[in-house]
Amino acid sequence: MTSAIAQPIDTADGLPWPQRLWSIVTIAVAVSMSMLDTTIANVALPTIAENLHASAASSVWVVNAYQLAVMLLVLPLASIGDIHGYRRVYMAGLSIFTVTSLLCAISFSLPMLAMVRALQGVGAACLFSVNAALLRATYPRAMLGRGLGINAFVIATSAAAGPTVAGGILAIASWRWLFMINVPLGLVALALAVRSLPPSRRAPQHFDYWSALLSALAFGLLITAIDGLGHGEKFLFIGGEFAAALIFGALFAWRQTLIPFPMLPVTLFARPIFTLSVITSICSFIAQALALVSMPFYFEHALGLSDVQTGLLITPWPLTIAVVAPIAGRLSDRLPVGLMGGIGLAIMAVGLAMMARLQPHPAVLDVVWRMVVCGFGFGFFQSPNNRAIIASTPRERSGSAGAIISTARLLGQTTGTACVALIFGLAVSRGANFAILLGAGFAAGAAAISFLRLMNRVPPEREART
Q: Is a pLDDT exceeding 60 seen at residue 466?
A: no
Q: Is a pLDDT exceeding 80 seen at residue 277?
A: yes
What are the pLDDT digits (tens) for 303-338?
A: 887 766 777 788 888 889 888 988 998 888 888 989
**Average pLDDT for 56-61:** 69
Q: Is a pLDDT exceeding 50 seen at residue 10?
A: no
* 13-195 matches 264-466 in fold: yes
Question: 17 or 27: which carries more pLDDT confidence?
Answer: 27
Give residue 42's pLDDT: 67
> Is the peptide bond preceding residue 18 cis, with omega within 30 degrees of 0?
yes
What are the pLDDT digits (tens) for 91-144?
A: 999 999 999 999 999 998 989 999 999 999 999 999 988 888 888 888 887 787
- For 264-466, CATH gives 1.20.1250.20
User: pLDDT-derived band of residue 387, with 50, 70 and 90 as boundaries?
Assistant: confident
Give residue 351's pLDDT: 96
- The domain spans of the chain are 13-195, 209-258, 264-466
Q: Is a pLDDT exceeding 70 seen at residue 7?
A: no
Give residue 460's pLDDT: 44
What are the pLDDT digits (tens) for 215-268?
A: 989 988 888 888 777 666 788 888 899 999 999 999 998 998 888 888 887 888
User: pLDDT-derived band of residue 463, with 50, 70 and 90 as boundaries?
Assistant: very low
User: pLDDT-derived band of residue 1, with 50, 70 and 90 as boundaries?
Assistant: very low
Give residue 428's pLDDT: 61
Give residue 429's pLDDT: 67
**Average pLDDT for 179-189:** 91
Give the range with max mean pLDDT: 179-188, 227-236, 386-395, 412-421. Answer: 179-188
Q: Of 78-92, 141-155, 265-279, 353-367, where does mean pLDDT reach its minimum?
A: 141-155
Q: Is a pLDDT exceeding 70 seen at residue 4?
A: no
**Average pLDDT for 20-26:** 87
**Average pLDDT for 271-290:** 91
The average confidence (pLDDT) of the chain is 83
Q: Is a pLDDT exceeding 60 seen at residue 38?
A: yes
Q: For every residue of the chain, which 3-state class applies, written as one string?
A: CHHHCCCCCCCCCCCCCCHHHHHHHHHHHHHHHHHHHHHHHHHHHHHHHHHCCCCHHHHCHHHHHHHHHHHHHHHHHHHHHHHHCHHHHHHHHHHHHHHHHHHHHCCCCHHHHHHHHHHHHHHHHHHHHHHHHHHHHHCCHHHHHHHHHHHHHHHHHHHHHHHHHHHHHHHHCCCHHHHHCHHHHHHHHHHHHHHHCCCCCCCCCCCCHHHHHHHHHHHHHHHHHHHHHHCCCCHHHHHHHHHHHHHHHHHHHHHHCCCCCCCCCHHHHHCHHHHHHHHHHHHHHHHHHHHHHHHHHHHHHHCCCCHHHHHHHHCHHHHHHHHHHHHHHHHCCCCCHHHHHHHHHHHHHHHHHHHHCCCCCCCHHHHHHHHHHHHHHHHHHHHHHHHHHHHCCCHHHHHHHHHHHHHHHHHHHHHHHHHHHHHHHCCCCCHHHHHHHHHHHHHHHHHHHHHHHHHHCCCHHHHHHC
User: pLDDT-derived band of residue 20, with 50, 70 and 90 as boundaries?
Assistant: confident
User: pLDDT-derived band of residue 365, with 50, 70 and 90 as boundaries?
Assistant: very high
Global confidence as pTM: 0.77
Give residue 376's pLDDT: 95
Question: 344 or 165: which carries more pLDDT confidence?
Answer: 344
State percent of the chain over pLDDT 90. 29
- For 13-195, CATH gives 1.20.1250.20
Q: How many CA atoms are closer than 13 Å to the CA of 377, on its beta-carbon side? A: 25
